[in-house]
A and B are shown apart, each in its own frame.
Chain A
Amino acid sequence: MKADLESSLEGVNRYNPQNLVALEEYVKVMIDENQYDQEAVLTALKLYQLNPDKYNEQTVRRILLKTLMALPRSDFMLAKCLLDSNRVDPQKAASTCTPEMTQVLYIGAVLEACDFASFWKIMRGQWTPPEDDDGKFKPAEAVAQIREPAEAVAQIREVKGFEDAVRSFACQVIHVTFQRIDKDQLSRLLGGVTDAQIAEYTSRHGWTTQSDGTIFIQNHEATIKSRNIEEKLEFGAIKDILRSIG
């Protein structure tokens, strides 16, 4: 299927709206079989942009969820930029935006903000909208607006491998942030996984469990350190100006 589509998306033929039928099917396959093809999903969105009458929100929602699984890459952002405002904002004239769409966008905002805590709360049905306080610290605005977490969860459950993808994203961010991390905290960021799962992620990313209950991620001390950059003037760089003075 992928090969077939690839040949029909070459050059200007990419813009042929007749490809949409095949693309929509392909997106469904990606959802069911945990595959991903960035080129294909972005092409589908492009075709919806150029042929508004063919717009299919269900497929668009699926695509958005798939692009979220590609985090930390910016595919979700790319996908959002291809949607017109009346597709994503219920306030606009002639808006086609359904509540389901809004939920997907909220989930996207939560994950883009690396707010894994809220994401897992939503998935576990433990989520309550934060109360307004005047504190300096606020979660992303979108997070505070989630009203129907259960429906969002239902949409996510249809996408094979979504939670795993989020865990993998979390691991990548943890990898660049932490030198050592408490096992409890790691477990929380990965959505309350079991010790066995933690062991699996640990070995997958080349981390090591230590005797004090922490997990050693990688040595950042050596690379992240304060530096003072002094100017080094090389003769070659000032040769010309010296010559012009002389």
Chain B
Amino acid sequence: MEFTKAKSAKVIPRESTDVYDDDAHTGDPERDLAYEREQAQGGYASQPTSADPRLPDDVIEYLRYFKRMVEEQNVAEIHSLYEHGFPELTDRFFREKLWPNDKVVEGIVGNQNRLFLILYKEVYFRHVYMKMQRGPSLGHRYDSYMNYQDLFFEILNAKEEPLELQLPNIWLWDTIDEFVYQFQSFCLYKANPGKRSSDELEDLVQIEQNQNIWNIYPVLNILYSLIEKSQINDQLIAINTGRNPDDVADDFGRHALYFKLGYFSLIGLLRTHVLLGDYYQALKTVENLELDPKGLYNTVPSCLVTLHYFVGFSHMMMRNYGEATKIFVNCLMYIQRTKNVQQQHHQAKKNPWQYDVIGKSNDQLYHLLAICLTIQPQRIDEAVLSQLQEKTGDRMTRMAKGDMDEFKLAFQQGCPKFLSPTTAVFEGGNLSKEPLLRQCNAFLEGIESQVAIPILRGYLKLYTTLPMKKLASFMDVTDEEYDTFVGKLLSFKHIVSELGKESGDEVNAEDDTTADLDFYIDKDMICIADTKVARRVGEYFIKHIQKLQEVNRNLKRLPIGPVQQRSQQANR
């Protein structure tokens, strides 16, 4: 109860779209007290405000060093402390409990550097979100949101000159990604009464009344502000046209921190739009962000995967199956290629959160790819194809027969967790799945007219020419349904020719070697063109040569010498 009161005392009436007039929440004794109580559950009862004697020296040392590196803007060191140090210490000391709260940390590193404490809390809450099996408490959600506000306030409200801060790419991406994730998580939480305790209900009612945390408007506002402050769109256009981005940017835009945050915010916003079912805005958000090997997203694997996944998904929802397929396949090839590196990396730092993102997306991507390829088969990379067949071969066969339930399952397993920003359920049933079902139905309604396509394809594959009437009789079409049946053929071509493409540029048939089957109708004769692809042996041989080389390398490394020694010993 005190917790709520403390919070509502903090509520500042403000325009729903204006976030940055909020002041920091530290220094409010009543609330910080509640905060401590919250922490007590995490294993830090009666926390003194000075360095906790029970805190291992390594951790204290780590925090002090971390702070110094942040102050010195030593990105390489920060990177290693963030990516390796934190997971390592978590593994050693904080498997069962939470990291010390900000008061304790303040006692260790002093309170002069507020920014460091905010950054620390950003990582601290991420750990909390990951640790809590049933999801974090409302208190944690609240505090984490306030901390994000503090962080973005510091960055965005620097008026004269940019904030003196440098962070590694991965941390910047993780921050944006986590911010969107926590927003998503809150939306699902408030739509699902089963997820909360009875105490939390009262607090939630208050929060929803005041709309003061994780509301869609401030969340969008933060992302848009980061994009605007960094002038990222102007800069990307300049880069794409071969000009110097510094010419179009001011001091903020030229500053690495702002540039990168703006860049990653585009991808965060892309994700947010997709979660809201707004595919048009989603694609528009990243229109200046070209998928090429020089882009900043390449430096952070999980960012690359997120970008491809959501762009591809948007194309799929807009019925551009060809485009979606291309993007999904590129992403899957990337994951396949880097799998070993990722796994080693993952084991080395014992960090369970990063590989998971990629591993999970990997599975989702295959489900979505199965849908796209069933409706519009194409030739794809063979390694991806063999994985696809292994994972979803049976499913694709059933989908090709027009089994709608199978489409539905594939969609639900492959899609992101959609959300409704305005649904809060205080009592009653869980509505958190509604947005997902809605997108699923919207997708299926459209697909229903397209499930005939794989069936038609099955017949067409058998012929080079086929009279319309004959095909109609195969499909039990009565005379009065004949024109509707013609519609199916038109629909087939509608999809395959990608008439729906936004860009409106004509699909170049010469260029389009990916379609496996095409046809045209000459009066009442269907003329079918089939593309046969000879087996590609080159790739096969290369793969085996590489394998042989690896075996050879391993053989050489085997300690063969001692065998002789041993035999000598045996002789003695």
Contact = CB atoms under 8 A, between A and B. Distances in A.
Contacts of B429: 93
A233 interface: yes
B538 A233 contact: yes
Contacts of B489: 177
B481 A139 contact: yes
Contacts of B475: 135-137
A246 to B, nearest CB: 12
B491 to A, nearest CB: 4
B120 interface: no
Interface string A148-177: 000000000000000000000010111011
Given A139-B481, A179-B521, A238-B542, A80 B532 contact: no
Interface in B472-511: 472, 475-478, 481-491, 493-494, 497, 499-502, 509-510
Interface string B223-242: 01100100000000000000
Interface string B502-542: 10000001100100001111111001011111111110001
Contacts of A15: 17, 217, 220
A170 B316 CA distance: 23
Interface string B7-45: 000000000010000000000000000000000000000
A176 B481 CA distance: 22
A61 B147 CA distance: 42
A224 B526 CA distance: 12
Contacts of A93: 429
B532 A227 contact: yes
A8 to B, nearest CB: 14
Contacts of A109: 445, 448-449
Contact of B281 (A46, A92, A114, A139): A46
A173 B486 contact: no
Contacts of A237: 538
A73 to B, nearest CB: 5
A237 B538 CA distance: 10
Contacts of B490: 114, 116, 170, 173-174, 177
Contacts of A135: 475-478
A4 interface: no
Nearest to B509: A223
B348 interface: no
Nearest to A75: B280
Contacts of A16: 17
A180 B448 contact: no
A224 B527 contact: yes
Given A224-B509, A229-B532, A42 B281 contact: yes
Given A173-B493, A228-B532, A245-B545, A180 B523 contact: yes
Contacts of B523: 179-182, 214
A5 interface: no
Interface stretch (A20-28, A81-89, A96-104, A200-208): A81-89
Given A130-B481, A136-B475, 16 more contacts: A11-B224, A12-B225, A73-B502, A74-B320, A78-B317, A85-B438, A89-B441, A114-B487, A118-B487, A170-B490, A173-B493, A176-B497, A224-B519, A224-B520, A241-B542, A241-B545
The 6 closest A-B pairs by CB, nearest first: A113-B449, A117-B483, A220-B520, A135-B476, A72-B499, A223-B509
Interface of A: 11-12, 15-16, 38, 42, 46, 49-52, 71-74, 77-78, 80-85, 88-89, 92-93, 105, 109, 112-118, 130, 135-137, 139-142, 170, 172-174, 176-182, 185, 188-189, 214, 220-221, 223-231, 233, 237-238, 241, 244-245
18 contacts: A12-B225, A15-B217, A46-B278, A73-B502, A74-B318, A78-B317, A80-B446, A83-B438, A135-B475, A135-B478, A137-B472, A137-B485, A142-B448, A180-B522, A189-B483, A220-B527, A227-B513, A231-B537
